Amino acid sequence: MEPKNDTQMLQFLLLGISEDPRLQPVLFGLFLAMYLVTMLGNLLIIMITISDSHLSAPMYFFLSNLSFVDICFTSTTVPKMLVNLQSQYKHVMYKDCITQMLSFIFFSVLDIFLLTIMAYDRYVAICHPLHYTVIMNPRLCVLMVLVSWIANALHVSSEGFMVLQLSFCTELKIYHFFCELNQVLQLTCSENFVTVLAMYLLPVLMAAGSFIAILYSYYKIISCIHAISSAQGKYKAFSTCASHLSVVSLFYCTGIGVYLSSIVTENSQSTARASVLYSVVTPMLNPFIYCLRNKDIKSALKRVFEIETKLHLLGLKKSP
């Protein structure tokens, strides 16, 4: 394979999850339903946390940001996959492929940063409850989110600069449903080993650093909970971080599972199917986890539905 100098004319072929034409309509219906559920669930979380005055705590500010990022995260991959499932033309231009790859890296790492911030928030709430409102003030909350966006933007800019230094071969088949970093780098004909290694390592180091910070936060949280004398107090303290812990476990377990499966298996499309877990399923389940395990959000939802019901009944009474 010879490198092609005019990268702007390059096209990548996305082979997707399955090449069986009989499965295309089924997969289209399944992923369309999952995408709509993800959009509606996360939009509902955003609207409730913004509109309900009872959800003014920093945790819900971070949750609304996480829901927004999950919407963007899913939207970088699923719409293109749905188009490909309905089309015989599964090619994507070089610039569009690189844009999708960088967007996916940006929102996935931002997801991890927000989960780390939320772990710190739970640490302060449980280990320093009397100083919580002072430490987690609105200015600090906005600053932490802003720094996450800026730091991640710089990270993705460096990834973009490095990928522009690479040349690609003429046979550009990607055994995935989106332009995933590992798949794209396997197609390069460039001998710049340092650049390729740096592109691999940067996201891994950022994810690993965030994971260590989350583990340390929960180590301190568990230590504080263990020091509480009453069983009821322990349960109440743990219940405040149960939703976050569930989301973190789901995201990291699926992500690590996909990474390990890509090392063990030689079937790249098997890795693509496994990637559905953290790239599509996890953002879809996050709103359900927070709605089912968080009393404040359940109460807010109940109030919203009660208001809607009353307005509907008043409308029916006024209609005659």
Q: What is the mean pLDDT of each run of 10 residues along the chain (320 residues)?
A: 53 81 87 94 90 82 93 93 84 89 93 94 91 92 95 92 83 83 82 82 88 93 86 78 84 76 61 81 86 74 66 56
Nearest partner of 179 among 260, 282, 103, 110, judged by Cα: 103
Residue 170 lies in a domain: yes
Residue 189 lies in a domain: yes
Residue 14 lies in a domain: yes
Residue 24 lies in a domain: yes
pTM over cut 0.85: yes
Sign of the Cα pseudo-torsion (235, 209, 39, 253, in order)? negative
In this predicted structure, what is the pLDDT of residue 143? Answer: 96
Nearest partner of 268 among 178, 201, 198, 190, judged by Cα: 178
Which two structure tokens, joined as six digits, stand for 201?
Answer: 């390592």
* CA 116/CA 44 separation, integer angstroms: 23
Nearest partner of 81 among 21, 26, 27, 22, judged by Cα: 27
- Could you give the C-alpha distances from 18 to 11, 140, 258, in angstroms and in order? 20, 46, 17
CATH number at residue 59: 1.20.1070.10
The secondary structure of residue 219, as a DSSP letter, is H
Per DSSP, helices labelled H in the chain are 24-51, 58-75, 78-85, 94-127, 132-135, 138-163, 181-186, 193-227, 231-239, 242-264, 268-276, 282-293, 295-318
Do residues 163 and 196 make contact, with C-beta atoms less than 8 angstroms apart?
A: no
In this predicted structure, what is the pLDDT of residue 180? Answer: 86
* CA 258/CA 268 separation, integer angstroms: 11
* CA 121/CA 119 separation, integer angstroms: 5
In this predicted structure, what is the pLDDT of residue 53? Answer: 75
In this predicted structure, what is the pLDDT of residue 168? Answer: 81
Q: Name 238's Cβ contacts closer than 8 Å, sequence gap at least 6.
A: 225
Burial 217-253, CB ≥16 within 10 A → b, else e: bbebbeebbeeeeeeeeeeebeebbebbbbbbebbbe
In this predicted structure, what is the pLDDT of residue 104? Answer: 93
In this predicted structure, what is the pLDDT of residue 318? Answer: 52
Residue 1 lies in a domain: no
Phi, then psi, of 234 in degrees rounded to 5: -65, -45
In this predicted structure, what is the pLDDT of residue 255? Answer: 77
* Pair type for strands 3-4 and 91-93: unpaired
Q: Domain count for the chain, please give it.
A: 1
* CA 96/CA 100 separation, integer angstroms: 6
Residue 2 lies in a domain: no
Residue 109 lies in a domain: yes
H or E segment to which residue 92 belongs: strand 91-93
Domain around 240: 7-318
* CA 255/CA 258 separation, integer angstroms: 5
Residue 92 lies in a domain: yes
